[in-house]
């Protein structure tokens, strides 16, 4: 994937214009600016420090995003690391980094995001949306970003139910490994959603001045969705944990049944082994040693004894 650098600049009187890269003009301007950097180079990230005067620690977080969402407030802007779910990828989540100022927003991400592209084209076609404020762009990004978690849970809910049924039918090690993987995912998502919920909660507070009062209700809506997601991830974790417990319980019961059968067989064989051992001794003078039907009589006694013991065990309900 090639790097993408693009910008939308809107002035209420002059309308929309597109420039900025490659030199990144200073961010002190009355225009509304949205700068989007996809897979930025080290030189482009350095421009965020030298031309836009962002803190080096925040820019370094764009190079190596933290696994958990975070927020840092500076003098006239705020920095966010937000997480979204990557569909059908080995890595469960990826980061969207955002710099938010009074009249600018900078988004930095290392993969092309469909919901960012869609929002970009919407603002390009309807530049009057900038009049709602750049904080509304942040809300418009948070909405589909949050939706990626709902999509993930909808997809995995059916999967965990299928694994639960498979555990009852044939509890195998492969199924257990899949369940363990899903439980680890639930633990990771719970940490991510908890931190992301706290960030959005701060955005809805009146003390956070970068959000317009008329836009706070939108962030409250995202906050309520985050609460729903946390409930879902708890349910997801509980389902995975209960499936593991079911597997262990079924395996233990299966082992108990096997041990019960083996114990019954061993118990039945003990008196038969005793009789066979007695008649296997090499003494010359033994009862029925010379009897013509002695062999068949001993086998009959052994079979009768085994049958009596089986009936006794069945009557006791031992198997």
In which region does residue 309 sit, left (phi positive, over 0), alpha (psi from -120 to 50) or beta (all else)?
A: alpha
pLDDT at 139: 95
Backbone angles phi, psi at 86, to 5 degrees: -95, 120
pLDDT at 53: 86
Backbone angles phi, psi at 79, to 5 degrees: -120, 135
The answer on pLDDT for 143 being more than 90 is yes
The answer on pLDDT for 265 being more than 50 is yes
Residues 6+ apart with CB under 8 A from 145: 82, 84, 96, 115
Predicted structure pTM score: 0.76
By DSSP bridging, strand 104-109 and strand 32-38 are parallel
Can the peptide bond before residue 173 be classed as cis, meaning omega within 30 degrees of 0? no
Q: Which of 76-111 are b and which e, b meaning 16 or more Cβ less than 10 Å from the residue's Cβ? A: ebbbbbbbbbeeeeeeebbbbbbbbbeebbbbbbbe
> What's the burial of 55, exposed, middle or buried (CB within 10 Å: 0-12/13-18/19+)?
middle
Give CA–CA dist 184/111, Å, rounded. 24
Is the distance from CB of 285 to CB of 231 less than 8 angstroms?
no
Q: Of 9-18, 26-35, 46-55, 114-123, where does the model show the most confidence?
A: 114-123
The answer on pLDDT for 21 being more than 60 is no
The answer on pLDDT for 159 being more than 80 is yes
The answer on pLDDT for 301 being more than 60 is yes
What rounded mean pLDDT belongs to the chain?
83
* Architecture of the domain defined by 259-316: Up-down Bundle (1.20)
Give CA–CA dist 41/78, Å, rounded. 22
How confident is the model over 257-265, as a mean pLDDT? 77
The answer on pLDDT for 161 being more than 50 is yes
Which residues are bridge partners to 37 per DSSP? 5, 108
Please say whether the structural domain 1-125 has been given the CATH code 3.30.70.3450.
no
pLDDT at 97: 95
Where do the CATH 3.30.460.20 domains begin and end in the chain? 1-125
How confident is the model over 94-122, as a mean pLDDT? 92
CA-nearest of 177, 197, 176, 196 to 251 is 176
- pLDDT band with cut points at 50, 70 and 90 for residue 89: low
Where do the CATH 1.20.58.340 domains begin and end in the chain? 259-316
How confident is the model over 24-44, as a mean pLDDT? 78
Is the distance from CB of 22 to CB of 5 less than 8 angstroms?
yes
Least confident of 63-77, 112-126, 188-202, 234-248: 234-248
More confidently predicted of 286 and 205: 205
Sheet holding 104-109, edge to edge: 15-17, 4-11, 32-38, 104-109, 93-100, 78-85, 70-73
């Amino acid at each position: 994937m090639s790097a993408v650098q693009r910008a939308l600049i809107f002035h209420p009187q002059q309308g929309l214009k597109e420039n900025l890269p490659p030199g990144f003009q200073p961010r002190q301007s009355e225009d509304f600016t949205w700068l989007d950097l996809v897979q930025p180079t080290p030189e482009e990230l350095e421009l965020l420090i030298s031309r836009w005067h962002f803190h080096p620690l925040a820019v370094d977080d764009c190079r190596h995003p933290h696994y958990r969402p975070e927020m840092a407030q500076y003098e006239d802007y705020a920095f966010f690391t937000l997480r979204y779910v990557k569909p059908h990828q080995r890595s469960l989540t990826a980061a969207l980094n955002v710099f938010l100022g009074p009249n600018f927003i900078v988004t930095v991400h290392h993969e092309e995001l469909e919901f960012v592209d869609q929002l970009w084209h919407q603002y390009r076609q309807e530049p009057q949306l900038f009049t709602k404020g750049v904080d509304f762009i942040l809300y418009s990004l948070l909405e589909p970003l949050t939706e990626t978690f709902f999509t993930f849970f909808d997809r995995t809910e059916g999967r965990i139910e299928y694994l639960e049924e498979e555990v009852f039918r044939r509890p195998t090690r492969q199924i257990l490994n899949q369940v363990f993987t899903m439980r680890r995912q639930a633990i990771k998502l719970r940490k991510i959603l908890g931190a992301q919920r706290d960030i959005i909660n701060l955005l809805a507070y009146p003390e956070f001045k970068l959000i317009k009062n008329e836009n706070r209700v939108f962030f409250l809506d995202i906050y309520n969705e985050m609460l729903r997601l946390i409930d879902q991830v708890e349910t997801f974790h509980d389902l995975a944990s209960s499936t593991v417990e079911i597997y262990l319980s079924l395996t233990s019961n299966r082992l108990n049944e096997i041990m019960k059968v083996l114990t019954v067989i061993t118990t039945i064989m003990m008196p038969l082994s005793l009789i066979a051992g007695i008649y296997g001794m090499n003494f010359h003078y033994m009862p029925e040693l010379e009897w013509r039907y002695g062999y068949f009589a001993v086998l009959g006694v052994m079979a009768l004894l085994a049958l009596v013991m089986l009936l006794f065990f069945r009557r006791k309900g031992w198997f």
